[in-house]
Chains A and B, each alone.
Chain A
């Protein structure tokens, strides 16, 4: 992102330099176009962030009222085993689910782009469809199907005379949630990759064909480098999504109260703290910490990604 904004910044003003008067007018114009977005942005995003920041420096007790607490909330959070266990869980989710989903999405995109597939448009739209299903509906559906007694798992057991493991058992519940998230977003990511593959210049392929390069080397040397930008974007969004994991586990929780704890993900922890525990201030602290952690990691990934490309 930084690389591209540099080109934009250096290209346009060069044109403007000889006309300083016009430039001043356009300064104002730029803000004019940006201001509607910025106004709502400040109201709906920046203000709550600042408010959360303010809250995080106070403590409000059921008994005793509100008082300034300095960094006490942050200290508490950093030593809070439940917070860290939630954090580790989403980190693990990130490390396992995101690569699985993205590799699957990339493989599907390559297959669709290969022109060796029957009925490619059918595949493309069908695999994309789950993205249109609201997370609430998707989770309710999968929750029904995960039932070992009378759900899909139960049905399969009945037919195959097997005892499939319970997706809600403590070892499997995270993969079970990972499956729902993968189902929801694999099509979306596939489409991003597919779109990137479609704009690879034909000359590259023609050259490869002349050189009699095998299909796997084409993938490795032409396709993968060309979609690196897309992979970077998808990765960053998946990181953000993982750290914000909430809807799926929270909707599944009534079905599996013992294996989805109240601090299963940082967001669930913050939610339960504020809405069941009325610890608004501590909850805001957790939100701030998670926001900062997400931004730092997303930034590092982006840096690593762009540096590789430039190298």
Chain B
């Protein structure tokens, strides 16, 4: 329980300090008052198994060779332990194309998700802290856009990007992923409370330029929400599959997801090699970095979500 306290305390928005962020005395501070429930723990263990079983399956099967994959039970290790063999094969197959895809994915994540966060922060801050004509219309259009089925807009997007000469370039992936209306919404809700208007006014009176106010004051105060948006954008970009599938014809610019799917499709074709072991190992390697990112940044995104979710 000490962990949860550490998570929420330092990141609570300033305007909320008036009300206790944790009911410390009532509950968490005094856990011994509340007996742990074995029943509840048992029930939760079931959901834990549900959540982790497929990942366990992935790990087990990433340790198998192509042939023992098809001859041993899927739920336990069997045959030769080939995890490290598989990993090195995954990295070396087809002249190390996996690493190349990994690099592409990183590029899309850094530029796409980073850019999306920056744009959403700027926009959300504008909506929260400024009055300007057309604001309500802009807001309605942006939030309405969340409902547009992205998959079905793929064709028009493709034809447009193709006319602009952007297909088969990283821009075809990066530009669409720069738009994150939900991120903008989160920042907007958060910034309204977390960035006190008085503080901005004071800075203006001091003669600070707007962009300096943003970068040296507002940005700092919006940090938890930004990290939340960043993480959601990272996940969205990292998992992006459909858009690159249609925008890119050259494997040179594939992200991991499309590359992996192509690997699995390869065993479905004339003359193609079945490389299920590499598909499975590749899948495992694909989720490792993002899982690590989640674990490391837990304390930030959890508190960022807090504000986003209670409002609205």
Residue numbers of A with Cβ under 8 A of B are 1, 4-5, 8-9, 11-13, 15-16, 22-23, 26-34, 36-38, 40-41, 43-49, 51-52, 55, 104, 108, 111, 114-123, 125-138, 140-142, 144-145, 150-152, 155, 158, 183, 186-187, 191-196, 198-203, 205-206, 209, 226-227, 229-230, 232-234, 237, 240, 243-244, 246-247, 251, 254, 266-267, 270-271, 274-275, 280, 283-284, 286-287, 290-291, 294-295, 298
Pick the most buried of B142, B179, B184, B235: most chain A CB atoms within 10 A of its CB.
B179
Q: Which of B165-222 contact A (CB under 8 A)?
A: 175-176, 178-179, 181-182, 184, 189, 192, 197, 201, 204, 210, 214
How distant is A158 from chain B, measured CB to nearest CB, in Å?
A: 8
Given A138-B54, A280-B155, A287-B153; A1-B1 close (CB under 8 Å): no
Q: Is B27 an interface residue (CB 8 A)?
A: yes
How distant is B128 from chain A, measured CB to nearest CB, in Å?
A: 7
Residue of A38, A122, A141 touching B54 (CB-CB under 8 A) = A141
Contacts of B179 in A (CB 8 A): 37, 40-41, 44-45
Q: Which of B131-176 contact A (CB under 8 A)?
A: 131-133, 135-136, 138-139, 141-157, 159-160, 175-176
Contacts of A111 in B (CB 8 A): 40, 43-44
Contacts of B141 in A (CB 8 A): 46
Contact B126–A51 (Cβ < 8 Å): no
Q: 10 new A-B pairs (CB below 8 Å) besides A45-B176, A55-B156?
A: A5-B136, A117-B37, A142-B54, A199-B306, A202-B24, A209-B26, A247-B242, A275-B155, A294-B149, A295-B147
Given A26-B131, A123-B48, A280-B155; A129-B294 close (CB under 8 Å): yes
Q: How far is the CA of A16 from the CA of B302 in the complex (A)?
A: 35
Q: How far is the CA of A234 from the CA of B141 in the complex (A)?
A: 20
Given A150-B74, A183-B51; A41-B142 close (CB under 8 Å): yes
Interface string of B105-130 (1 = CB under 8 A from A): 00000000000001110110111111
Contacts of B306 in A (CB 8 A): 195-196, 198-199
Contact A115–B73 (Cβ < 8 Å): no
Residue of A41, A132, A152, A266 touching B287 (CB-CB under 8 A) = A132
Q: Which of B1-31 contact A (CB under 8 A)?
A: 1, 3-4, 8, 16, 19-28, 31
Interface string of B41-70 (1 = CB under 8 A from A): 101100110111011011001000000001
- Tally B residues with Cβ within 8 Å of A: 120
Given A48-B156, A150-B74, A201-B19; A145-B26 close (CB under 8 Å): no
- List 29 interface pairs A-B (beta carbons < 8 Å), by A numbering: A9-B131, A29-B130, A32-B126, A34-B122, A37-B120, A48-B153, A48-B160, A115-B27, A118-B38, A123-B47, A123-B48, A132-B294, A135-B239, A135-B241, A136-B260, A141-B283, A152-B75, A187-B51, A191-B305, A192-B305, A192-B309, A196-B310, A199-B310, A202-B23, A206-B26, A243-B149, A247-B242, A267-B151, A274-B154
Q: Is B311 an interface residue (CB 8 A)?
A: yes
Contacts of B156 in A (CB 8 A): 48-49, 51-52, 55, 284
Please list the 6 inter-chain residue pairs (A to B) with the smallest Cβ-Cβ separation, ordered nearest first. A202-B23, A30-B130, A287-B152, A33-B126, A30-B132, A37-B123
Q: How far is the CA of A115 from the CA of B4 in the complex (A)?
A: 11
Contacts of B291 in A (CB 8 A): 129, 132
Q: How far is the CA of A99 from the CA of B84 in the complex (A)?
A: 42
Tell me the nearest residue of chain B to A295, going by C-beta: B147
